[in-house]
Amino acid sequence: MSGESMITVKDLRKVFKTKFGDLVAVDNINFEIRRGEIFGLVGESGSGKSTIGSMIVGTYPPTSGSITFQDGRDISKSYKFRSQELKREIQLVFQDPGGSLNPRKTIRQILSVPLQLFSDKHLSKSELDERLEKALLKVDLPTEYLDKYPRAIGGGEKQLVCIARALAADPSFIVLDEPTSALDVSIQAKITNKLIELQKENGISYLFITHNLCLVRNMCHRLAIMYLGNICEFAETAEFFERPLHPYTQMLLASIPVVSDEEEKLKPQKIHSVGEIPSPLNKPSGCSFHPRCPYKMDICAEKVPEMREITPGHFACCHML
Amino acid sequence: MEDKYVLKLNNLSVSYKVYEGLLKVIPGLDMTVMAGQRVGLIGEAGCGKTTVLKTVASILQCPPAVIKYDALEVCGKKAEGKAGVRNVRKTVSMIFQDPSTSLNPTLKISTQMSDILKSQFPGQKREDYQRRMLESLQAVAMPAPERVLDSYPVQLSGGMRQRVCIAMSLMKDSEFILADEPTTALDVTIEEQILDLLDRLVREKNKSLILVSHALGAVRKITERLFVMYAGNIVETGPTRELFASPRHPYTIGLLAATPKLTGEGIADGIEGDIPSYLHPPQGCRFADRCPRKTDLCLEKAPVLEPVEEKPGWYVACHHAEGKVRP
């Protein structure tokens, strides 16, 4: 893997104005995604992981901070202010494949859009057909599917069409927002393997947003754990699962229901899940995890811990470390 | 263990009448649950788990469903005739998947809880009802139960709503709890808490439980006996942990292999294909189309549950399963 950076996120902050006051969705986010890397962003609902994904694809701009793409192009602006080239380079796959395909259009019509939109010249009908078939073959779907409607195919196949649609633009970076959480395990396995294979073939990078740590373990190179709008731990995958540092990530790992005794041994034993994730509208003072933390000290309620490098490449923010 | 059944279900068949014809979802299913047993029912979406559970609770809507069985006995009560069905409904408690839609959004929690008490224990004083409600909320480790009673469902978080649903199911004092994917809508840390809670309550009061889920880990955590369903059939049943350690049916094997593991040795390829159409289900084994061990026999004859060698209580429905007792 080359060390070239794909996406660099610096001091990112997003505040949504609501009628109950300002909601700080994400705050103080710093990370870098390298070229050819699968980067996992893990957190429970409401932790702000999808907000980060949305800002990278440009659904809305950040309140402050910057996102830079590859060689320093600033992309911290919303979609309509981005160049056509940039729109092509960054693609998105949503969680619910049923909801992200237009039910009144055939797969052919759906896939034609990115092909024509991002092509440098006008495509003739035969050229378009050829590219459409190629796009479907990339995700192992038969070409007869082109004239089917989304309702006529299964959930896993719909998600494959979504992936084909993202790939049709020939991107260098794809944001995957929980791409398999609406699917059954047997189908999830197929989609995940396909995603890994496509990533290796095309050398693209992924931001993989999920709440499933087991999936991240088998798929991502590096990962960041989010809690209530902040990143609390950040490491290489293997290192992370060997030595989880932050109490929240230990709690998260301990709560995973597993299917074998070998996995049971890998889970932190001492810690148990207590409490619930508070509303982002009224965050606890200091470390936002302190009300649920079994190791909390006086300082935790007063001061926000800083992100520190504990071992090379392994960052965590906790006063205890 | 005492030889007392809480559930005896013989030769159940369920079909749904739809515009295109008859969906033959469950062709013939037997299930027994002993008193005090915690049973898991797993399978993928659309394999008939919820249909079975709703039949047991006698709350399946007919029509469109067409239900036939030789016997359905829940906690010693036979579900025969209208009175029988009503008796069964009163005996079991059910916890649904989505706590936000199984509570009425326009009524306060106290109203919804006291309605159950009024129907189960009519003619008591208001203070008694209040006390019972508080007790059951405390039993599910609910923070600030008084405040919860006075709130509407929208004011509570998903985890708290599910706790309310569990508290409501406990108030009935029934011996038999049916939980339909109680943690699917929740985050992992909350899921662990709810599963622990369910486990503790069921053990303490010696109740029986059927836990339906597609999360294999959740089932492994709190049940002792497992039923694996595929396309309306039970394909394998046995003691939960042992079955997870060495599954025999190709479907169970595929399902477990496809589950991403913490140990991180990669993910197997999953199982090709989809559940067959219930409109024209295959004549032979319903899994044959997706099965790596398929032979002609599988296409002709549907396998039945047969015991596995030297494993009491372990049955598998496959022509080619390993270690099966040959007739």
Indicate the number of domains in chain A: 2
Interface test with B, best of A158, A160, A184 (most B CBs within 10 A): A184
Environment class of A78 (CB within 10 Å of its CB; exposed 0-12, middle 13-18, buried 19+):
middle
The CA distance from B178 to B53, in Å, is: 7
Same domain membership, residue A213 and residue A176: yes
Residue A199 lies in a domain: yes
Asked if the structure places residue A140 within a domain, the reply is no
Domain at A77, CATH number: 3.40.50.300
Contacts of range A141-150, beta carbons closer than 8 Å, 24 or more positions apart: A145/A107, A146/A106, A146/A107, A146/A108, A146/A111, A147/A106, A147/A107, A147/A108, A148/A106, A148/A107, A149/A103, A149/A104, A149/A105, A149/A106, A149/A107, A150/A98, A150/A101, A150/A102, A150/A103, A150/A105, A150/A107, A150/A110
Q: Is the pLDDT of residue A12 over 90?
A: yes
If you average pLDDT over residues A122-143, what whole number do you get? 90
- Report yes or no: A216 and B261 within 8 Å, Cβ to Cβ: no
- Per-residue pLDDT at B141: 78
For residue B122, what pLDDT is reported? 85
Task: Please spell the DSSP secondary structure of B17-61, one letter per residue.
Answer: EETTEEEEEEEEEEEEEETT-EEEEE--TTSSHHHHHHHHTT---
- Assess whether A216 and A257 both reside in one domain: no
A167 plus A266 within the same structural domain: no
pLDDT digits (tens, 9 = 90+) for A245-282: 999 999 989 988 888 888 888 888 878 888 888 888 88
Q: Which residue in A186, A218, A238 is closest to B255 by CB distance?
A: A186
pLDDT in tens, A163-187: 999 999 989 999 999 888 888 888 8
Closest chain B CA to residue A212: B188
Q: Which residues 201-230 on chain A approach chain B with CB closer than 8 angstroms? A: 211-215, 217-219
In a domain, A241, yes or no: no
**Average pLDDT, integer, range A45-60:** 89
pLDDT of residue B1: 43
For chain B, what are the domain ranges?
5-247, 294-326
How much is the mean pLDDT over chain A?
Answer: 89
Over range A111-140, report the average pLDDT: 89
Distance of residue B239 Cα from the nearest chain A Cα, in angstroms? 14
Residues A74 and A187 in one domain: yes
pLDDT in tens, A275-312: 888 888 888 888 989 998 888 888 999 899 989 999 99
Question: Which chain B residues contact residue A267 at CB under 8 A?
Answer: 262
pLDDT at res. B325: 60
User: Which among B187, B193, B245 is the nearest to A44, CB-wise?
Assistant: B187
Which of residues 83 through 112 in chain B touch A, CB cutoff 8 A?
none
* Alpha-carbon span B252 to B227, nearest angstrom: 10
Please report how many Cα atoms fall inside a 13 Å half-sphere around the Cα of residue B232, on the Cβ side.
22
* Domain around A57: 5-103+154-227
Contact across the interface for A212 and B192, Cβ inside 8 Å: no
Q: What is the predicted pLDDT for the residue at A264?
A: 84
Examine the predicted complex and report whether its ipTM is higher than 0.85. Answer: no
Q: Are A226 and A252 in contact (CB under 8 A)?
A: no
Task: Say if residue A222's pLDDT is above 90.
Answer: yes
**Both A85 and A172 in a single domain?**
yes
pTM above 0.90, yes or no: no
Q: Are residues A72 and A204 in the same domain?
A: yes
- Can you give the pLDDT of all 327 residues of chain B as single tens digits? 456 888 888 888 888 888 888 888 888 888 888 888 899 999 888 888 888 888 888 887 777 888 888 888 888 788 777 888 888 888 888 888 877 788 899 999 999 999 888 888 888 888 888 998 998 888 887 878 888 888 898 888 777 888 888 888 888 778 888 988 888 777 888 888 888 888 888 888 888 899 998 888 889 989 999 999 998 899 999 999 889 988 889 999 988 888 888 887 777 777 877 788 888 888 888 888 888 888 888 888 888 888 887 778 888 888 888 766 654
- B5-247: what fold? Rossmann fold (3.40.50)
Q: Max CA-CA distance within chain B?
A: 68
Q: Do A67 and A164 belong together in one domain?
A: yes
* pLDDT at A1 exceeding the cut of 70: no
Same domain, A159 and A283: no
Beta-carbon contacts of A189 under 8 Å, excluding residues fewer than 6 positions away, are: B257, B258, B259, B260, B267, B268, B269, B270
Q: Tens of pLDDT along B137-176? A: 888 878 788 888 888 988 887 778 888 888 888 887 788 8
Are residues A44 and B258, on separate chains, in Cβ contact within 8 Å? Answer: no
Contact criterion met (CB < 8 Å) for A263 and B261:
yes
Instruction: Give pLDDT, residue B227.
Output: 93
CB contact under 8 A, B214 and A213: no
Residues A54 and A98 in one domain: yes
**Does A147 fall in a domain?**
no
Whether residues A217 and A256 fall in one domain? no
Shortest Cα distance from B272 to chain A (angstroms)? 8
Of A154, A192, A255, the CB nearest to B188: A255
Q: How confident is the model at residue A78 (pLDDT cuts 50, 70, 90)?
A: confident
Tell me the C-alpha distance between A272 and B141, whole Å. 15
Q: At which of A195, A227, A259 does a domain end?
A: A227
Q: How many residues are present in chain A? A: 321
Q: Taking residues A103-125, what's their average pLDDT?
A: 90
Mean pLDDT of A236-253: 91
